[in-house]
């Protein structure tokens, strides 16, 4: 019965666990949080290159405005809005709102809908003012 305390089995047992919408959205919050750090680094480099001067800014700006650069920015934007709305849902849970299974199910769809809407809205702002 006694096992090595440093080596106890961990829950959930991922190899036999059936994923559902709620569990997938939950781990997505972590994954987007980790991924967003790279978007943040890109942003920090962008401002740093701006502070150095026009030559370095033009070089770095060329990189983030290339196809790959824009795809990374788009990915960061999607991750940002997902993490944003999923995080807002966590804040509601933190004050005790929305715990019922039915409400969790509904707010999952609300998070997805809000994320997609804001991605489209942000892209439209970018296109029409760019």
Site for another protein, rule CB under 8 A: 5-6, 30, 33-34, 36-37, 40-41, 43-44, 46-48, 50-52, 54, 57-58, 61, 64-65, 73, 77, 80, 84, 87-88, 90-91, 94, 122-123, 125-126, 129-130
Name the residue nearer to another protein (CB basis): 88 or 112. 88
**Taking the mean position of all CA atoms in its chain, how far away is CA 69?**
18
Q: How far is the CB of 88 from another protein (least distance, A)?
A: 7
Q: How far is the CB of 112 from another protein (least distance, A)?
A: 18
Q: How far is the CB of 102 from another protein (least distance, A)?
A: 25
């Amino acid at each position: 019965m006694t096992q090595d305390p440093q080596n106890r089995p961990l829950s959930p047992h991922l190899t036999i666990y059936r994923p559902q919408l709620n569990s997938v959205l939950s781990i997505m919050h972590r994954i987007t949080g980790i991924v967003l750090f790279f978007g943040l680094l890109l942003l920090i480099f962008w401002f740093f290159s701006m502070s150095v001067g026009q030559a370095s800014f033009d070089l770095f700006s060329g990189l983030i405005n290339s196809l790959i650069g824009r795809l990374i920015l788009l990915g960061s934007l999607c991750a940002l809005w997902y993490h944003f709305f999923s995080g807002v849902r966590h804040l509601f849970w933190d004050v005790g709102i929305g715990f019922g299974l039915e409400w969790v199910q509904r707010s999952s769809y609300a998070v997805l809908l809000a994320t997609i809407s804001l991605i489209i809205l942000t892209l439209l702002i970018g296109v029409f003012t760019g």
